[in-house]
Structure 1
């Protein structure tokens, strides 16, 4: 219990950690750098899903459970996307322009953090403790640039830097609740473990391919974003082999 609580808190607070530079940043950030960050985090999440969640799900269950969980994760994310208003950022090569409905976008970002929290909790419920640490670490790495981009968005909406930092940090807090929920469900009903791990992998893969990669390819930065995606994968593999 202590492990999952600590892991979920650290991965969630990484959102605030990533937002810290916004307190000192002068000016804005170009779409080129934003796309590089998005693609890099996509690579990190891809490695976590393929190297951690799916192999562990196969070991805990079988191919049927893995396929069922993957499709369930995609289905739930699809339903969430249709239910939660999703407003894309306007693409511009010079800077980042955002829709005026700031509250709606922040609510959408917060709710989209739920599957990430579930991923952490379910991973800690598996027999291999290192899987939980791996996913918590991967989600934390993914949350850092996300927190930076959310805070940057808020500043572009004429919100003060300190307030933007606090709000960006709070958007990741829901992951703690989701993580504990995922942990308790799969801990008390062991048969759910392979389904839960595969569900988390499916949700992460959906986010990668539906959100992160298209967003990183929307402004003519496809090549550099692709390089960044591969670097993210390599970076995660290096960390896995090192630690």
Structure 2
């Protein structure tokens, strides 16, 4: 069976993160040449090394990239050739991110929107500009969330210090429409933008939260990060050649 991403060159932004590092691993396994980019190259190197990736291979290149910096992003794309697609798995946020609703200041809210949604806009814009310049098929996958689709189930946070940040809901829902705007504006079948919206991803959350969350799924509960990867690879591949402006929810029924 042919590998999904054979002969494709894929940019993974946020490659030092929980999701991004796994995307790099599986994209390489599916035959892609990967540019792994992150604001912290040293940390990214450590995270990718933990994935048993041979970083000395010629089919992976590590690159510093600050997606919140317009000059950095534009300079990066100006120096690229033969990109087939990209995944933006970055998660920029400020130090007060994650506060409860009534504790969020307007300044903090605006700063987080500027960091995360603003960088999603910039990254999407520059992917589109790259396509317009090169005129070769390009598939962008942005990462949204179930909480970009449905209202939070706040009861699952009872008996924990956690909450579902209001900024997160605003940003992730906006990304879904940003995708549609971008592909509608470019209006070319060769340029595609889609999203994957994961449910909860296991990352050593409190036991009370894990148990409450599981009751709202069909039995799996919080998902291992690898459960999200297949949908991303599909959207990057020729298997989804005419899928555009869409959102794939991977949540074991949590949003039903």
TM range (shorter): 0.3 to 0.5
**Which is strand-richer, 1 or 2?**
2
TM-score, normalization by structure 1: 0.35
Question: Which has the higher relative contact order, 1 or 2, with Cα contacts under 8 A spaced 6 or more apart?
Answer: 1
